[in-house]
Structures are given as structure tokens and as C-alpha cells.
């Protein structure tokens, strides 16, 4: 039934709005955090010991994370953005020059583009596919130049990018592949864990993510030399980059410190960053990993139920599907309002918001819809799919504090909305 636009209760009718908000029976917040008793114990231990900067708990967290993804190395940093940025900065040790180009999808959380720029590279954008939300591999080769150094696919909303096609192009053109796996904890692609599919992978550990340290990030890789450089980069580019720093763990004597004649801790081999994770964050992360199986199975159930139950709205809204070859990392549930649905994304967002359902936009086309990227001089219209999602996409949480009754409430609320306002 189409609602006369004049009577649309959007951003007006304050009294009506307040009544609806007060009546909302349930709250569906976007994210959640579970701080386990194990984390609390470790946090207290760290506080009592006075050893709170990067030390043994960070190392333990890194080992557990590497074991979980199945990589040889994991290097923890202070955010997912820094994980992207430091992974890219590793490339300077392998011939990359400042200003060289990194291929990224046009649609992502803005951190992906920011990280490329902060690492000193130029982002080159490629449009995404509407069905997968991910970079369209068929468009990658068109933008490869002599300056291209890497492809950085994003597994948006935990859906694995088309890594076989991407890796094939990378091999052909001798490019590095760095996965932006910020949202893809627990995702599997053709039997392999996301995070093991390129040269390095960068995760966010921000609190809305499946494994969290409150704020934080981590880079996984099978290459020991990459991991060493990452450890140097996260600590100002220092020359000392041992896996276990004895000075950091128990103030023991470091036999390597003056080996070269000068204090290795004050030799700065490369342009570095200040991006260490601290012990308190790692303690939260260790607790989060202890709960991982429980968290992921709850989130998976929520996501798959939402995907299935959302099918009935397919005449006016779409979402992604889990395909045979993959397991989506259950980060969140994306939705895209179709053309001619009879309502806008923002009207739906407003309706859900008043009924206690927290939403986020499904990001935007970084080069053409983020004002901060204007200086790159891309023209609106250059990335039609990313821009369409930027205008019409949204997502909601699928986290471990939600269950069947929340999914049910969400589906019912969307159903009520569509009954009133869809064309
Ligand atoms: C795709 C993507 N990349 C990078 C990041 C950056 O992570 P952080 O917020 O931890 O810096 C995020 C954040 O959620 C993200 O969604």
C-alpha cells in the first residue's frame, strides 16, 4: 500500500514520534561487548603488576589469534585502520614507493581508503557487485598501471571477496594481496579461512566485531619477515622487532641491545607508527577468544535466520546470500532498498530507530560520496553500484546478545513498515 507522502511521519510530528519511541517493546542495539571473567582477572593482574604496555598478554593474544586463523604469525596493533595501514607500509621494504597505487573497492567503511592514504599510497577504486557488496574482479585489470603494488579486497559484512579471481590477477601482474578482513572474523572461502588467502590480512578488533579488544586491530600472515617489519612499524620503525621482547615482558636483560654497537631500541630503520596494543586490551581479547565458539555460533544463527526470513521482502529489498563455497563471517545483516520500492532508506531507518532497532548505513562510495576524498577528483556516477548502496543500503547487528525473539521483532517491524509504505 502506498502512503501519501504528505502524511509521512519523517523528522516531524514530534509528539507522535515520542509516543512510538516510548511504546517500543524491544531494543536491538547495533553492537555489544562481553567482558569475560577471564578478561577481568587478567586486567587486574596486569594492573597489579604495573606492566600494562605491550607485553606478555599481547603476545598470548597474538598466538591465540594466529592459531584460530591458521596463520604462522599475528601482530596486534591499536586499530583495524592501523592494521590496514601497517600491512600496506610493509610494502616499502619490498620496492614500493610513496605515491604508488593500491586497488581497493569503492564501497567500504572509510577506514580502508584512509589507511591507504595514511600509508602514503594512492587508492585506486573499483566498483563493487550489488549481490556480493564486494570488489568486482572483472574490473580490476582495467585500472592496473606500472605504479600498482597491491590489491586490497574487503570482505564486506563478512562475505568473502572473490579471492580466486583476485589472486589470479595479482599473480599475473606480480601484485601483493592484502585482505581487509576487518569485518570477516570466522569467514571461510572454499574451505580456507579468510585471513589466509593473501599475503597479509588486517582485522579490526573494535567492539562491534566478533573478536574484540575494545579498540584494536591485528595483522595475520604466514611470512616471518612481514611479521618482523610489522612489529617494527607498530613501534616507530625501531630496529628491534623480536617476537618476544624480553624488556617488555619481564624487564630481563636483552643481550641483543648493544650488539651492533648502538642501542637497537633507538635505531629507527623505517618510517614507523605509534600503534601498539596494550595489555588491558589484549586481556579483553583473550577473554573474547575463549568465548569465540559460543559467540560465532549465536551470530551465525542470527544472520542465517535473518537472510532466510528476509526473502519475503525481496520485491522491495535485497540482502546477500551465503553461497555453497563459503561461510559468511557473521558481522552484521546488510539490506539494500530497491529502486521504486516506494520509500527511502532513511525513512526505513527512521521507522526502525523509533522502534528501538539500531541501524547503520551500508557505508558509501569512498571516492564519490565521502567529502574528504574530493581532492582525488573522482566524479559522482563513476561507481554506480557503490553509490547506489551508499544511498540505499543499511545494516543491523547480529550479535550474541540477540536471539530468536529479536530476529522475530526485526522481521515483524520491517513487515509492518512495508505494509504501510511500500509501493
Ligand atoms: C572494512 C573495514 N576496514 C577497516 C576498519 C577499521 O577498523 P577500526 O575501526 O578498528 O579502525 C573497519 C571498521 O569497522 C571496517 O569495517
Is the pLDDT score of 221 beyond 70? yes
Output the pLDDT for position 251.
62
**Secondary structure class of 210 (helix, strand, coil):** coil
User: What pLDDT sits at residue 259?
Assistant: 85
Q: In which band, very low, low, confident or very high, does the pLDDT at 336 lie, cut at 50, 70 and 90?
A: very high
Residues 41-45: contacts with CB under 8 Å, at least 24 apart: 42/279, 42/282, 42/283, 42/286, 42/287, 43/280, 43/283, 43/284, 45/283
Q: Is the CB of 182 under 6 A from ligand 1?
A: yes
pLDDT value at 55 more than 60: yes
Give the per-residue pLDDT at 15: 62
Q: Which atom of ligand 1 is nearest to the CA of 115?
A: 4
Q: How far is the CA of 187 from the centre of ligand 1 (A)?
A: 16
Q: Measured from the CA of 81, which atom of ligand 1 is nearest?
A: 11
Alpha-carbon dihedral sign for residues 157, 158, 163, 164: negative
**Atom number of ligand 1 nearest to Cα 156:** 1
Pocket test for ligand 1, best of 81, 153, 399 (most atoms within 8 A of CB): 81
Comparing 13-27, 127-141, 362-376, the range with the smallest average pLDDT is 13-27
Report residue 54 as a C-alpha cell: 605491550
Domains of the chain, each with CATH number or no CATH: 5-31+292-421 (3.90.1150.10), 37-290 (3.40.640.10)
Question: Does residue 48 register a pLDDT over 80?
Answer: yes
Q: Give the distance (Å) from ligand 1 centre to CA of residue 288.
A: 18
Confidence check: pLDDT of 144 > 90: yes
> Which residues are CB-neighbours of 396 under 8 A, at least 6 positions away?
28, 30, 332, 333, 335, 352, 357, 358, 359, 360, 410
Between β-strands 122-126 and 192-193, what pairing exists: parallel, antiparallel or unpaired?
Answer: unpaired
Mean pLDDT over 370-381 rounds to 98
pLDDT at 5 over 60: no
Q: Identify which has the larger pLDDT, 18 or 155.
A: 155
Q: What is the percentage of the chain residues whose pLDDT exceeds 70?
A: 93
Query: Does ligand 1 lie within 6 Å of residue 281's CB atom?
Result: no
Q: How far is CA 345 from CA 27, 112, 392, in A?
A: 20, 24, 5
Q: Confirm or reject: Cβ of 65 under 6 Å from ligand 1.
A: no
In this prediction, residue 9 has a pLDDT band, given cuts at 50, 70 and 90, of low
Q: Which residue has the cell 555453497?
A: 324
Q: What distance, in Å, lies between the first and last C-alpha atoms of the chain?
A: 6
> How many angstroms separate the CA atoms of 199 and 126, rounded?
20
188 with 326: CB under 8 angstroms? yes
Looking at the predicted structure, is the pLDDT value of residue 4 above 60?
A: no
Summarised one tens digit per residue, pLDDT across range 293-319 is 999 999 999 999 999 999 999 999 999
The single residue of 155, 185, 209, 399 carrying the catalytic annotation is 209
pLDDT at 25: 72
pLDDT tens-digit series, residues 318-331: 999 999 999 999 99
Identify the bridge partners of residue 359 per DSSP, sorted by sequence position.
none
d(CA 67, CA 389): 35
CB of 206 within 6 A of ligand 1: the answer is yes
pTM: 0.94
Ligand 1 centroid from CA 281, angstroms: 17
Mean pLDDT of 336-363: 96
* More confident call, 97 vs 259: 97
Closest CA relative to residue 247, chosen from 238, 256, 239: 256
Report the mean per-residue pLDDT for the chain: 93
**How many Cα atoms occupy the beta-carbon half-sphere of 203 within 13 Å?**
32
Confidence band of 249 (pLDDT split at 50, 70, 90): low
203 CB within 6 A, ligand 1:
no
pLDDT tier at 11 (50, 70, 90 boundaries)?
low
Share of the chain above pLDDT 90, in %: 85
* Residue 2 scores a pLDDT above 90: no
Is 236 a catalytic site residue? no
Q: Answer whether residue 197 shows pLDDT above 60.
A: yes
310 within 8 A of 407, measured Cβ to Cβ: no
Determine if ligand 1 sits within 6 Å of the CB of residue 183: yes
Amino acid at each position: 500500500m502506498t502512503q501519501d507522502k504528505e502524511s509521512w511521519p519523517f523528522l516531524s510530528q514530534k509528539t507522535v514520534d515520542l509516543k512510538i519511541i516510548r511504546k517500543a517493546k524491544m531494543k536491538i542495539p547495533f553492537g555489544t561487548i562481553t567482558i569475560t571473567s577471564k578478561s577481568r582477572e587478567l586486567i587486574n593482574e596486569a594492573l597489579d603488576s604495573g606492566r600494562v604496555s605491550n607485553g606478555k598478554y599481547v603476545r598470548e593474544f597474538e598466538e591465540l589469534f594466529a592459531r584460530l586463523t591458521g596463520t604462522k604469525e599475528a601482530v596486534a596493533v591499536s586499530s583495524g585502520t592501523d592494521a590496514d595501514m601497517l600491512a600496506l607500509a610493509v610494502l616499502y621494504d619490498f620496492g614500493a614507493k610513496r605515491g604508488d597505487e593500491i586497488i581497493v573497492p569503492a564501497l567500504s567503511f572509510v577506514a580502508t581508503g584512509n589507511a591507504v592514504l595514511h600509508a602514503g599510497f594512492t587508492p585506486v577504486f573499483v566498483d563493487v557487485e550489488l549481490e556480493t557488496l564486494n570488489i568486482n574482479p572483472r574490473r580490476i585489470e582495467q585500472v592496473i598501471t606500472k605504479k600498482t603494488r597491491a590489491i586490497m579486497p574487503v570482505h564486506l559484512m563478512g562475505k568473502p571477496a572473490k579471492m580466486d579471481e583476485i589472486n589470479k590477477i595479482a599473480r599475473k601482474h606480480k601484485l601483493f594481496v592484502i585482505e581487509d578482513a576487518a569485518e570477516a572474523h570466522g569467514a571461510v572461502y572454499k574451505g580456507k579461512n579468510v585471513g589466509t588467502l593473501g599475503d597479509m590480512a588486517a582485522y579490526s578488533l573494535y567492539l562491534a566485531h566478533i573478536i574484540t579488544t575494545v579498540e584494536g586491530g591485528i595483522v595475520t600472515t604466514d611470512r616471518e619477515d612481514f611479521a618482523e617489519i610489522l612489529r617494527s612499524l607498530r613501534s616507530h620503525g625501531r630496529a628491534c622487532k623480536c617476537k618476544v621482547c624480553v624488556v617488555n615482558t619481564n624487564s630481563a636483560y636483552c643481550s641483543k641491545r648493544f650488539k651492533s654497537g648502538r642501542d637497537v631500541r633507538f635505531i629507527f630503520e623505517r618510517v614507523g607508527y605509534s600503534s601498539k596494543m596494550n595489555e588491558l586490551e589484549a586481556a579483553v581479547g583473550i577473554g573474547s577468544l575463549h568465548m569465540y565458539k559460543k559467540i560465532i555460533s549465536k551470530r551465525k544463527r542470527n544472520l542465517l535466520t535473518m537472510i532466510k526470513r528476509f526473502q519475503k521482502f525481496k520485491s522491495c529489498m535485497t540482502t546477500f546470500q551465503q553461497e555453497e563455497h563459503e561461510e559468511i563471517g557473521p558481522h552484521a545483516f546488510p539490506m539494500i532498498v530497491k529502486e521504486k520500492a516506494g520509500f527511502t532508506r532513511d525513512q526505513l531507518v527512521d521507522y526502525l530507530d523509533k522502534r528501538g532497532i539500531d541501524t547503520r548505513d551500508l557505508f558509501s562510495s569512498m571516492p564519490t560520496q565521502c567529502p574528504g576524498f574530493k581532492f582525488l577528483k573522482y566524479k559522482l556516477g563513476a561507481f554506480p553500484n557503490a553509490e547506489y548502496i551508499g544511498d540505499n543500503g543499511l545494516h543491523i547487528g547480529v550479535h550474541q546478545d540477540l536471539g530468536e525473539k529479536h530476529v522475530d521483532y526485526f522481521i515483524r517491524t520491517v513487515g509492518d513498515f512495508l505494509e504501510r509504505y511500500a509501493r
